[in-house]
Chain A
Amino acid sequence: MAWFYLVLAGIFEMCGVAMINKLHNDRDWKSLVLLTLAFGASFLFLSLAMETLPMATAYAIWTGIGASGGAILGMVLYGESRDWKRLFFIAMVLSAAVGLKLVS
């Protein structure tokens, strides 16, 4: 269950970061509320994941899902660069995360 919470926390962090960008462009209250809710949910699930997982492992994977998920989201939704270097680093993050799951 802890790993499920951790993935959920990472997904909410991605949403939160997307809302920061939206707030940057629109400056409306709705984005600010969604931003707060997304980060609130993200920290809640991260803390639930940490009840059983070691904190550095959980933190590193949470950051990794946020960064690589954000990049994937940017590629799919906003046509950001699909340069091989970006794909390579995303693959590196995801394989390290899977590795951490396997050794823990």
Chain B
Amino acid sequence: MNKYWIQVIIAAVFEVFWVIGLKHAYDFWTWTGTVIAIIISFYGLIMAGKKLPVGTVYAVFVGLGTAGTVISEILFFDEPFKISKILLILLLLAGVIGLKLVTEDDVQEGAES
């Protein structure tokens, strides 16, 4: 695995951090942390997208981000495990990933420039 893919994974971890922050931040420092996490995750995603195929990068990123938020809200924030909800989130995720992967050719110029 090359360093750009590791960068995608790190970006996805910070994505989960800011999603948690948007829901649970309560004071100046937690909001500052949330904004920093947003910047790190966007920066990592954009930089990795310059070296790797954008559609694939986005698909992996959003897949990890979604899995991370689902798992952390159940593990850390006492959200009930509801199978219908998990299945629908999986369906939505499959749609987003499918869309990004079949659109790959259209966005290639963006990746190269």
Query: Which residues of A come within 8 Å of B, CB atoms?
Result: 20-21, 24, 43, 46-47, 50-51, 54-61, 63-64, 67-68, 71, 74, 80-81, 83, 85-86, 88-93, 95-97, 99-100, 103-104
> Quick check: is B27 within 8 A (CB to CB) of the other chain?
no
Q: How many A-B residue pairs have CB under 8 A?
A: 107
> Quick check: is B88 within 8 A (CB to CB) of the other chain?
yes
> Quick check: is B2 within 8 A (CB to CB) of the other chain?
no
A-contact bits for B49-91, CB 8 A (1 contact / 0 none):
0000000000000100110011001000101001011001101
Partner of A93, one of B38, B92, B113: B92
- For residue B47, which residues in chain A have a CB less than 8 angstroms away from its CB? none
- For residue A71, which residues in chain B have a CB less than 8 angstroms away from its CB? 99, 103
- Establish whether residues B88 and A50, one from each chain, have CB atoms under 8 Å apart when the complex forms: no
Q: In the complex the two chains form, what is the Cα distance from A99 to B83 in whole Å?
A: 13
- For residue B102, which residues in chain A have a CB less than 8 angstroms away from its CB? 83, 85-86, 89
- Establish whether residues A100 and B23, one from each chain, have CB atoms under 8 Å apart when the complex forms: no
- Chain B: interface secondary structure? helix
- Establish whether residues A85 and B98, one from each chain, have CB atoms under 8 Å apart when the complex forms: yes
Q: In the complex the two chains form, what is the Cα distance from A55 to B99 in whole Å?
A: 23
Q: In the complex the two chains form, what is the Cα distance from A86 to B101 in whole Å?
A: 9
In chain A, what residue has the closest Cβ to B91?
A96
Partner of A92, one of B62, B70, B91: B91
- For residue A92, which residues in chain B have a CB less than 8 angstroms away from its CB? 91-92, 94-95, 98
